Amino acid sequence: MSSISEKRISILISGRGSNMEAFLKAERRGVLSGQVVRVISNRPDAAGLATASDAGVATTVVDHTLYESRGAFDAALAEAVKQDNPDVVVLAGFMRILTPVFIDAFVGKLVNVHPSLLPNYPGLNTHQRAIDNSDREAGATVHYVTNEIDGGPPILQVSVPIESGDDSDSLAARILDFEHVIFPEAVNWHLQGRLVHEADGAYLDGKKLPPTGSLWEWQA
């Protein structure tokens, strides 16, 4: 059985990878319970690839445009991830809808962050939808990934007030800062063995988490 320091993290990105950077920074600070062993992108021009490479992390491109179907791409992506035998696979701004071909290969250790207070607003345009609905709060949710889009068990959630004058861009930027905090924290729980994905939901320290996951507590 591998120790905490030997736990392996694979990260999937499609763009600049700001959440990926949060993991790399956490690792440099010594507060990440594992090592980022590879960053994989479906886009060869993803800016985050250079960031990862500069940090000494191996990178791989699996260009989705070279495959005739989602299934074929997902099979190739799964093979690229399997080479490192990761303990957790992190979707950090990976802008592809994954099929069971990929998800079923890593179920139980596939984690994403979604920019809403799940189960509210799965899918796209989450910040604008919250504003249009006159919500008082928005936020982000780290969750396990299943074959239901944005429907896997929530793990950790942060609630952020919607301020007067907010538009979708200002709200998104403010929430992103909190994503960088809660995403590595939730993944740490998984790597430490405190968090597991069971058939009926996510369990933290042996207790089933509520449908919204654990609420992140603001630090004074």
Given the residues 114, 127, 143, 197, the one annotated as active site = 114
Tokens encoding 115:
């920019």
Give me the residues paired with residue 139 across strands.
Answer: 159
Q: Is the dihedral of CA 151, 11, 210, 132 positive or negative?
A: negative
* CA distance readout (Å), 193 to 53, 86, 141: 29, 14, 20
Active site residue 127: no
Placement of tokens 């809808």 in the chain: 97
CA angle 27, 31, 35 (to 5 degrees): 35
**Long-range contacts made by residues 189-195, C-beta under 8 angstroms, separation at least 24?**
189/155, 189/156, 190/87, 190/88, 190/109, 190/111, 191/4, 191/7, 191/9, 191/33, 191/34, 191/87, 191/88, 192/4, 192/33, 195/155
Give backbone dihedrals phi and psi of 22, rounded to 5 degrees, phi first.
Answer: -60, -35
Catalytic residue numbers read: 114
